[in-house]
Amino acid sequence: ALSLLAPLGRLTSAHLRELAAIAAQDGAGELRMTPWRGVVLPGLSPETAGPRLRELAATGLVTDPASPWYGLGACTGRPGCAKSLADVRADAVATLRAGGATEPLPVHWSGCARRCGHPHGAWVDVVATGDAYEVSVRGTRDGAAAATTVPTTEPGRLADAVASARAATRTTPTTT
């Protein structure tokens, strides 16, 4: 079986056509969607898995388990949500491309203080405030760290703030 990640949970029609063709030709004829924004193609032989992974990576799907896309999530954001203060998906992609550490804490981008879709446990919280983002660590035993506010026009600084928060050692989950 092959396991892949759809960046920010988005699959295009081209992705689906390619996945369906591979499943029909080399796999068990089915696709399995995971709750973690992933896709599993069961039934592929070891001989076909390598070439198919390379083909799927070329379409933009994530096939490398060390990819910085793992642990990155976002709400719908603009333009999909009227309450969102920013296009968090575009800003998350720009920040990911600007660099930064891929440390243990997941990162969740939210377009407003409602934080739709945030993960459980400890995570780096990146919340749009209109013309900036607040970056903090949430879900830790000792509460949220002090927020760092970074203007949205500075993806390099935002990447540094996210990487710094992601490298936080306080990863003990809150217990209730």
**What CATH number did the domain enclosing 144 receive?**
3.30.413.10
**Same structural domain, 24 and 90:** no
Let me know if residue 66 belongs to a domain: no
Per-residue pLDDT of the chain (176 residues; tens, 9 = 90+): 999 999 999 999 999 999 999 999 999 999 999 998 999 999 999 999 999 999 999 999 999 988 889 889 999 999 999 999 999 999 999 888 887 666 678 999 999 999 999 988 888 999 999 889 999 888 876 655 667 777 767 778 888 888 888 876 544 444 43
Let me know if residue 65 belongs to a domain: no
148-151 β-sheet, strand order: 72-74, 107-110, 123-128, 132-138, 148-151
Per the document, the length of the chain is 176
